[in-house]
Structure 1
Amino acid sequence: MVTILREADRTTVAEAAKKHKVSDATIYAWRKHFGQMEAADVKRLKALELENSRLKKLLAERDLDLEILKEINAKKW
């Protein structure tokens, strides 16, 4: 992605988009979000997003477990 953006900086956006089979709008959106980033920064961002997703899933599972335990505890045997 960053490589394509750097190429679009050297040539035209239309040429880079055609070469990499993406739309001009996609390159402009990437430029808006990732324009100042280097390749290592983008990799780090993706790793953080993946970790964040994993942690959200773990939290949701923990909350579900707590709800189940509360229901079991609330029942009178």
Structure 2
Amino acid sequence: MKEKRFSVEQMVGILKQAEAGVSVTGVIRKAGTSEQTFYRWKAKYAGLEVYQVRQMAQLQEENLRLKRLVADRTLDTTMLKDVLSKNGEAFAAWT
């Protein structure tokens, strides 16, 4: 996974500077980032505080973990049903 160059505090700080009235060009030049990156951050983090961004990241990680758990359980259930149906067919053929 690619290492992030800016921390959450830095990203939010850069956005706050632009909100305070500093020109976007000046902010991105000072930060050493591109205009595209700035607007991507703005779309994702505009109006949020640092703790809210961290909380959002935690919730996304937890959501991903829960989705994996559900997928694993669904796979287990499907495999068990498949095995049971095959065992039932084999038992019926044997008798």
Question: What interval of TM-score do these two structures reach, taking the shorter chain for normalisation?
Answer: 0.7 to 0.9
TM-score by length of 1: 0.84
The total of aligned residue pairs comes to: 77
4+ residue runs over 4 A deviation: none
Letter in structure 2 aligned against 1:32: A
Counterpart check, 1:16 vs 2:27: yes
How far apart, in 2, do the equivalents of 1:15 and 1:67 lie? 57
Alpha-carbon offset, residue 46 of structure 1: 0.5
How far apart, in 2, do the equivalents of 1:16 and 1:28 lie? 12
Which ranges in structure 1 are unaligned for 5 or more consecutive residues? none
Identity of aligned residues (%): 35
Counterparts of residues 1-77 of structure 1 (less than 5 Å): 1-10=11-20, 11-76=22-87, 77=90
